[in-house]
């Protein structure tokens, strides 16, 4: 059963997942330095996972009567994700940035989970997103010296 607080929680998570997806591609294209290839490829793996997660989430919103808003302007105005900056990105810095940002989004979603106690299917989708974000964050964090 959805409640009035379900859709804003899902929308906030959607925007953050979209922003992370965009940053993963940005870093994929601009990373350089030692371990370039593994970080370059890992970013693409994460980008695909994030895209799948956002699609699942947006379609859940639609299924329960909402209107997912994934427009660039909405992402710009409402994302909680910290930017990674433009230009070249050193691989070790990218690893740290993504370990940090993936975990931050996971914690942000986690903090709102109890708002969805009356909508367990939506809560389940967010829990799965947290699991994937935490795993991806760990895989970056494990590369830090
Ligand atoms: Fe590529």
- Model confidence over 27-54: pLDDT tens digits? 999 999 999 999 999 999 999 999 999 9
Report how far residue 16's alpha carbon sits from residue 35's, in angstroms, rounded to the nearest whole number: 27
CA of 74 to the centre of ligand 1 (A): 26
DSSP assignments along 19-44, one per residue: HHHHHHHHHHHHEESTTHHHHHHHHH
CA of 140 to the centre of ligand 1 (A): 18
Mean pLDDT of 109-121: 96
Which residue(s) pair with 31 in the sheet?
Answer: 89
**pLDDT at 115 > cutoff 60:** yes
Chain centroid to CA 52? 10
CA of 91 to the centre of ligand 1 (A): 15
Which H or E run includes 95? helix 91-111
Q: Are 7 and 124 in contact (CB under 8 A)?
A: no
CA of 24 to the centre of ligand 1 (A): 11
Mean pLDDT of 68-87: 98
**pLDDT at 141 > cutoff 90:** yes
CA of 109 to the centre of ligand 1 (A): 28
Q: Are 39 and 95 in contact (CB under 8 A)?
A: yes
Mean pLDDT of 114-132: 96
* pTM score: 0.96
**pLDDT at 3 > cutoff 90:** no
Give me the pLDDT at residue 25, please.
98
Mean pLDDT of 101-115: 97
Question: Average model confidence (pLDDT) for the chain?
Answer: 96
Domains in the chain with CATH codes: 6-141 (1.20.1260.10)
**pLDDT at 1 > cutoff 60:** no
Give me the pLDDT at residue 144, please.
87
Instruction: Give the closest residue to 107 by CA, choosing from 8, 6, 16.
Output: 16
């Amino acid at each position: 059963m959805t409640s009035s607080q379900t859709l804003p929680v899902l929308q906030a998570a959607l925007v953050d997942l979209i922003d992370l997806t965009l940053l993963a591609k940005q870093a994929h294209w601009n990373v350089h330095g030692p371990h370039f290839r593994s970080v370059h490829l890992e970013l693409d793996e994460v980008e695909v996972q994030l895209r799948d997660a956002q699609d699942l989430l947006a379609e859940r919103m639609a299924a329960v009567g909402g209107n997912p808003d994934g427009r660039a302007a909405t992402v710009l105005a409402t994302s909680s994700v910290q930017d990674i900056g433009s230009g070249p990105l050193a691989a070790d810095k990218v690893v740290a940035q993504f370990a940090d940002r993936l975990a931050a989004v996971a914690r942000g979603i986690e903090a709102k989970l109890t708002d969805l106690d009356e909508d367990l299917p939506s809560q389940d989708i967010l829990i799965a997103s947290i699991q994937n974000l935490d795993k991806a964050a760990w895989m970056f964090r494990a590369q830090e010296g």
